[in-house]
Structure 1
Amino acid sequence: MFLLSLACLSLALCGVTWAAYDPDEVTGLPGMSFKPNYRQWSGYLKASPGKYLHYWFVTSQRDPVKDPVVLWLNGGPGCSSLDGFLSENGPFHVNDDGATLYQNEFSWNKVANMLYLESPAGVGYSYSDDGQYKTDDDEVADNNYLALQSFFAKFPNFTQNEFYIFGESYGGIYAPTLSLRVATGDAAKINFKGFAVGNGISCFALNDQSLIYFGYYHGLFGEQLWADLNSNCCKDGTCNFYNNSMKACVQLVGEAFSIVYESGLNEYALYLDCAGGARTTGSYHRTMLNLFQNYRKQWDAENAVSGGGVQTGSGPTLREVPPCINSTAQMTWLNRGDVRKALHIPDTLPPWDICSDDVGSRYVNKYRTVRDVYLKLLSLGVRALVYNGDTDMACNFLGDQWFVEQLNMKKTTSYQRWVFDNQIAGFYQQFGNITFLTVKGAGHMVPQWAPGPAFHMFQSFLSNTPY
C-alpha cells in the first residue's frame, strides 16, 4: 500500500492523472524480459459510426508531460502501423523467433509520446461493424480525424503537448490530408505544429516520371532501352514517361517498370537482398496496385490477350505482401492468444496481417497530387518535412524532391549535407517552413534501415534545430 501511494504521488507531481486510462493499459507483454521505463495503452478509438480504429500509445521515456505527441501512420493503402511500431521506431522489436522482444536503441519514444493508429478500418486489428472496407482518401482522413478527437478525449492531459503527424509510403496522402483537417478543423485544443512524410507518394505523375531516371542512372536499364525510351518518349529535350499517348513509348516504359518491380529486385531497398529470394512473373503486381496506374490497364490488356504475366485479379496471396519484406516474426507474435489478450483485442476479430487485401484492392485514390494540400498547410505556418531513403524505388527520392521544389517556395538554405555519428547521413534543403531531406543508403522504411540517422532527423525536426 505504501509503495502504491508513492507511485500515485509521483504521477500526481508530474501533473498526470492516469486512472481514466486503466481499461486500455498494457501491463505486461509476452516475450518481454526487460522492464520498460514508459507506459503504454492499446485499445480502440471511435471513428465514423460502426468503425473502430485500433491504437497503441506509448509514453515518452524522457518527459511524457512535456514531450510532443506524434501520430505514426503506415501506408499501403491497407498496411498496418504496427509494422512501424515493431520493426521501425517503436520501443521494442520482435526477435526472429516470433516469441521474444528486444529493446530498440533508437526508439522514437525516447523523446516523444508515440501514437500508432491502424487505419483505415479493416487494417490490422481495426474493424467495421458491417464488414465493409471499401474507402477513399477523404473518408480515411475524416475517420482519422474523428479517431484523433476520440484519443484526446480519452487522454485529455496530452492536449497541450505539441502534436505532429508522421506518415510513410501511402502515408504521403494520409498525413497531409489529415493535417489539413487538424489545422483547419474544430477539434478542441489540439496543439498541432507540423507533419512529416517518409518515402511517401506525393504526386503520382512525378513518382512515375522520376522512376525512369532513377532506374537508368542506377544501372538497371541497358543503353539500348534508354536510347529507345528517349527516341519514343522525348521531343525537343522534354520527356514524358508518365502519360505518353504513343504506343511504343507506353510499351517501353512498361518494360522499364517491369525491370524495377518484376525482375526480382527488392523494390523497397535496391541494394538489399529480397527476403525469400528473387521473385519474378509479377509478384509485385498487387502491391503496386496504386502506383503506375496509367500503364497498368495496357499491361493487363496485353497479358489477357497473350496469356502471359499476372493480371490485376490475381497475384500474390496476402501473406506475400509486401514482397521482399519478411514480417513473419511480427505476424507470429501479434497473433499469439496471450498477446491479443494483453492488447485488449476482441476474440471475434480475425488474425492480424501486415496488409489487408480487402482494404487495398478496393481503395479509391482521390488525390493524384497533394500539392494544393501542402500549399494550404504551408500558408498556415505549419512546418513540414519530406524525407526519403535514397535507395527506395517504390517512392523514389527524386520524385519527392521534384515535388517539393515545384511547390515554388522560397529557398532558405542551399542543398547541403547533414551528419550523424561523424558520417555523412544524407542531404537536405529548406524552403521556408518545409524541408526536403535524403537519408543515405536507406530504403523505403528509413527508421528500420537507418535507425540512428532517422532518430537524429526525428529529434531535429521536433525541436526545429539544424540537422
Structure 2
Amino acid sequence: MFTGYVESQNKPDTDPVVLWLNGGPGCSSLQGLTVELGPFRVNNFGEEVVLNPYSWNKYANIIFLDAPAGVGFSVRRDGLWNYTDDEVANDNLIAMMLWFGKFPERRANDFYVAGESYGGTYVPMLAQRLSNDWKNFPNFKGFFVGNGCLNSQLEFNSLIQYSYNHGFIDETFYRNSVQKCCSSGDCDFYAMANNDKHPCTNISMDLYYSNYYTGLDPYFLYFTCYLTDQPQVSSPPMAIIKQKTKAIKGKKYPKLDTLPSCAHYNDSTVYLMRQDVRAALHIPSDVQPYSNCNDAIAEDYIQQYLDISPFVKEVMFFNGDIDSVCNVVHNEQFVQRLGYKLLKAKEPWNDNDQLPPAIGMLTRYDGVDLLTIRGAGHFTSSANEKPKESLQMFYNFINGNDYSQPIPK
C-alpha cells in the first residue's frame, strides 16, 4: 500500500503523527495531500504547484494512505475489488504497523487518525483496532472525522429534511408526501425506499434525489465558476454517491453533466498521472495509472456497518454546513444519539480577526466535540472552501485548546 508522508514544519520530533484517509470508498488520500490539507496545492490543470499557507503539517507529521489496495498508487494484483469494512480496517492496521516499523522514531509521538466522508467508517473502525493494540500503538490518542458518512438511515432521512429546508423540494409535494406516507411528522423514508412493496417507495426516492436534480454541486452547494472556452477536463467525484445509492431500490442516480473546466476538480489527478511526477514519487512502472477514485471498488464494496459509533479516546466530528452528500443534520443527529453527556450546548466558535467572528457552531459532549464550519462544503480545507478555519480547528484539537484560540503567527 502506498503512503505519502510530510513531516511537521514545526517540531517533527515531538509534534503528533496524523494518519489521513480520504473516503469513497475507493478514493485516494493523495487528493487530501494535493487538494486539501497538504503543504502544496496543484493548480492550472496539473501544470503548477504552489505552497499551501494553511497546510496541516505546519503543526503535525501527516501520513496519507491510499486505501484499500487498488486505490491511487496502492496495488492489488488480482483485480478483486469486493472489500468489506473489516478487511479494509485490518489492512489499514497492518499498514500502520509497517509504517511505524519503518519510522520507529515516531512511536513516541502522539498518534491520531483522521479522515472525511466514508472515512466516517474507515476511521472509527481502525481506531478501535489501534486502541486494542496498546503494545504497537502506545500513544494513540484519538480520531476526528470531517463530513462523515456515519449512519445510512440518518443520512437518507436527514438529506430530505436538509433539501426541504434549502428550498429544493416543492412545498406542496413535500406536504402531500408527509400526509400520505407518515403517521406522524417523523418519517422513515429510508425504510420506505428499501421496501419495494411500500406505496411510498417512489415518493421517498424522489424526495431523496431532489437535491441532486438541481444541477448544483452536491459536495459544495454554493460553488460557482465562470465558464470559459478552455477544454473540458473536470468532473465531480461521484464515488461516494454511487456507494450510498447502490443499495437503494428504485430509481438509479441520475447522471449529472460534467462540470466545466473552470471547476478545476481534476488538477491534481492530471498532475499525479504525469510520468515525471510518478518518477519523483518512486512509483514502479507496473503500478496502474493514477485516478482520484477507483469506481470498481465503490461499486463492489460491501458496507457491513450502517452505523459507526465512537467508543473511546479524544473524538471530534466536524462538518462544512453546505455539503449535502454527508450533511450536517445527519452528523448532528448521529452524535446526539450516541447518548454522551452534554457538557456545553451549541454556541459559536470564533475567529476574532474576522467579521462576523463566528466560524461555525460547537457542541461539546463528554468525550466528543461536534463542530460546524459556516460556508464550507465536503472538502473543508480545500482552497475554495475554508482552509484557514479548518487549520485553526485542527491545531486546537490536537493541542487540547479552546477552538476559538487563534493559530500561532
Normalising by structure 1, we get a TM-score of 0.79
8 A Cα contact 1:149 1:187, kept in partner: no
| Residues 91-106 of structure 1 aligned to structure 2 (within 5 Å) | 91-106=39-54
Aligned AA for 2:244? Answer: L
Structure 2 gap segments, 5+ residues each: 229-235, 404-409
1:456 aligns with 2:409: no
- How far did residue 287 of structure 1 move? 4.7
Aligned AA for 2:249? Answer: K
Q: Equivalent residue for 2:314? A: 383
- How far did residue 290 of structure 1 move? 2.2
Aligned AA for 2:183? Answer: K
1:274–1:179 Cα change, 3 Å: farther
1:349–1:386 Cα change, 3 Å: same
From 166, 170, 174, the counterpart of 2:122: 174
Q: Equivalent residue for 1:272? A: 223
1:349–1:276 Cα change, 3 Å: farther
| Residues 219-234 of structure 1 aligned to structure 2 (within 5 Å) | 219-234=167-182
Give the SS at the match of 2:203.
Answer: helix
Q: Deviations over 1:285-316 (max 9, x none)?
A: 7652222456x32225xxxxxxxx86xxxx68
| Residues 246-325 of structure 1 aligned to structure 2 (within 5 Å) | 247-273=198-224, 287-292=240-245, 296-300=248-252
Q: Equivalent residue for 2:231? A: none
- How far did residue 212 of structure 1 move? 0.9
Q: Deviations over 1:69-94 (max 9, x none)?
A: 00000000000101111110000001
Give the SS at the match of 1:413.
Answer: strand
- How far did residue 101 of structure 1 move? 0.8
Q: Deviations over 1:338-379 (max 9, x none)?
A: 1101101011112101000221111100001013xx1xx22x
- How far did residue 240 of structure 1 move? 1.6
8 A Cα contact 1:163 1:193, kept in partner: yes
From 350, 355, 362, the counterpart of 1:419: 350
Aligned AA for 1:330? Answer: S
1:345 aligns with 2:296: no
Structure 1 gap segments, 5+ residues each: 1-52, 278-282, 301-308
| Residues 207-222 of structure 1 aligned to structure 2 (within 5 Å) | 207-222=155-170
Q: Equivalent residue for 1:21? A: none
1:190–1:126 Cα change, 3 Å: farther
- How far did residue 98 of structure 1 move? 1.2
1:405 aligns with 2:348: no
Q: Equivalent residue for 2:74? A: 126
Give the SS at the match of 1:412.
Answer: strand
Once residues 81 and 330 of structure 1 are traced to their aligned partners in structure 2, the CA distance between those partners, rounded to angstroms, is 12
Structure having the higher Rg:
1
Aligned AA for 1:291? Answer: K
- How far did residue 68 of structure 1 move? 0.2
| Residues 417-456 of structure 1 aligned to structure 2 (within 5 Å) | 417-420=348-351, 421-422=353-354, 423-448=357-382, 449-456=385-392
Q: Deviations over 1:89-145 (max 9, x none)?
A: 000001214122100010000000010000000000001232322211000000000
Once residues 295 and 55 of structure 2 are traced to their aligned partners in structure 1, the CA distance between those partners, rounded to angstroms, is 29
Give the SS at the match of 1:403.
Answer: helix
8 A Cα contact 2:23 2:240, kept in partner: no
Q: Deviations over 1:16-69 (max 9, x none)?
A: xxxxxxxxxxxxxxxxxxxxxxxxxxxxxxxxxxxxx10000000000001000
- How far did residue 189 of structure 1 move? 4.1
* Higher deviation after alignment, 341-350 or 247-256: 247-256
Give the SS at the match of 1:114.
Answer: strand
Structure ranking higher on relative contact order (CA contacts 8 Å, 6+ apart)? 2
- How far did residue 336 of structure 1 move? 1.2
From 305, 308, 331, the counterpart of 1:367: 305
Once residues 181 and 265 of structure 1 are traced to their aligned partners in structure 2, the CA distance between those partners, rounded to angstroms, is 38
8 A Cα contact 2:162 2:329, kept in partner: yes
* Higher deviation after alignment, 450-459 or 220-229: 220-229
Q: Deviations over 1:186-244 (max 9, x none)?
A: 55244100100100111011111111110011111111121122112321343222112
8 A Cα contact 1:412 1:432, kept in partner: yes
Give the SS at the match of 1:458.
Answer: helix
1:389–1:179 Cα change, 3 Å: same
Aligned AA for 2:98? Answer: S
Once residues 287 and 207 of structure 1 are traced to their aligned partners in structure 2, the CA distance between those partners, rounded to angstroms, is 13
Q: Deviations over 1:238-271 (max 9, x none)?
A: 3222112574422222112222123311100111
8 A Cα contact 1:262 1:284, kept in partner: no
Once residues 407 and 324 of structure 1 are traced to their aligned partners in structure 2, the CA distance between those partners, rounded to angstroms, is 41
- The total of aligned residue pairs comes to 387
* Higher deviation after alignment, 224-233 or 334-343: 224-233
Once residues 170 and 120 of structure 1 are traced to their aligned partners in structure 2, the CA distance between those partners, rounded to angstroms, is 12
Normalising by structure 2, we get a TM-score of 0.89
Q: Equivalent residue for 1:328? A: 266
Q: Equivalent residue for 1:393? A: 324
| Residues 5-84 of structure 1 aligned to structure 2 (within 5 Å) | 53-84=1-32
Aligned AA for 2:325? Answer: A
Once residues 299 and 137 of structure 2 are traced to their aligned partners in structure 1, the CA distance between those partners, rounded to angstroms, is 36
RMSD: 2.3
Q: Equivalent residue for 2:401? A: 465
- How far did residue 393 of structure 1 move? 0.5
From 139, 142, 164, the counterpart of 2:87: 139
Give the SS at the match of 2:200.
Answer: helix
Give the SS at the match of 1:387.
Answer: strand
1:276–1:239 Cα change, 3 Å: farther
Give the SS at the match of 1:414.
Answer: strand
8 A Cα contact 2:131 2:137, kept in partner: no
* Higher deviation after alignment, 245-254 or 353-362: 245-254
